[in-house]
């Protein structure tokens, strides 16, 4: 090539460098799509968890006392009506019976504690894991346990109204009308 002649096109080195940069950008964009999908799934779970917890809390608070948990269909099987766990599937729907709890993806732990006249309810949603009850025995019965880090946790303090006894009516005394007590009215003569 002579010095006066203009270059036309790209060199092989420039093409390889351009393809490398485009490939790197393409990989980063693909990773962003995967990450956004994972974040959308997590947001969906957190949204459903918030709705589930809010429904349970509102039903609990609308009851006459802290034992109102027994009226919540999902929590009717809690042993003492104040503490328990609820196994949930991937869509955060309650699993019907303990035999199906091996399919649980999440565990909702419900705890109600009385604290200085206030009832405190804690709802903790965590991923569920099946762990053996005896680590030394691989054939031991497996137990559903929450993972270390909860996905969602709500604590609500609420004072239930104390039922006041109905006041007893006081006996009423009718006035005698000021007629001197003879019961006949008139001027007393």
Contacts of 19 (CB under 8 A, 6+ apart): none
Token reading at 112: 């109600």
Q: Which residue has the higher pLDDT, 123 or 165?
A: 123
Residue 40 in this model has a pLDDT that exceeds 80: yes
**Cα 165 to the center of its chain, rounded Å:** 35
Task: Average the pLDDT over 48-67 and give the result.
Answer: 77
Residue with tokens 């054939």: 139
Tokens of 169: 């009516």
Specify burial of residue 57 (Cβ count, 10 A radius: 0-12, 13-18, 19+). middle
Q: How many angstroms separate the CA atoms of 25 and 6, rounded?
A: 31
- Which runs of E-coded beta strand occur in the chain? 83-88, 106-115, 118-132, 142-146, 152-158
Q: Which residue has the higher pLDDT, 159 or 58?
A: 58
Q: What's residue 69's pLDDT?
A: 66
Under the banding of pLDDT at 50, 70 and 90, the label for residue 122 is confident
pLDDT above 60: residue 120: yes
pLDDT tens, position by position, 124-152: 888 887 776 666 666 655 666 777 777 77
Give the pLDDT score at 109: 82
Mean per-residue pLDDT, 47-68: 77
CA angle 19, 22, 25 (to 5 degrees): 150
Q: Domain ranges in the chain?
A: 41-158
Question: Span 4-27, mean pLDDT?
Answer: 88
Q: pLDDT band for position 123 (50/70/90)?
A: confident
State CA 185 to chain mean position distance. 75
Mean pLDDT of the chain: 75
């Amino acid at each position: 090539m002579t010095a006066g002649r203009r270059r036309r096109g790209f060199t092989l080195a420039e093409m390889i460098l351009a393809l490398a940069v485009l490939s790197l950008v393409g990989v980063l964009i693909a990773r962003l799509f995967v990450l956004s999908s994972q974040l959308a799934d997590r947001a969906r779970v957190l949204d459903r968890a918030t709705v589930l917890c809010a429904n349970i809390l509102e039903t609990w608070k609308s009851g006459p006392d802290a034992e109102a948990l027994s009226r919540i269909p999902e929590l009717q099987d809690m042993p003492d009506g104040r503490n328990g766990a609820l196994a949930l599937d991937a869509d955060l729907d309650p699993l019907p019976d303990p035999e199906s709890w091996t399919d649980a993806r999440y565990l909702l732990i419900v705890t109600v504690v009385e604290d200085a006249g206030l009832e405190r309810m804690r709802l903790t949603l965590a991923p569920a894991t099946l762990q053996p009850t005896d680590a030394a025995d691989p054939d031991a019965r497996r137990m559903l346990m929450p993972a270390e880090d909860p996905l969602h946790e709500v604590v609500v303090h609420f004072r239930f109204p104390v039922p006041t006894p109905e006041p007893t009516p006081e006996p009423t005394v009718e006035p005698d009308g000021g007629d001197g007590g003879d019961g006949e009215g008139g001027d007393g003569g």
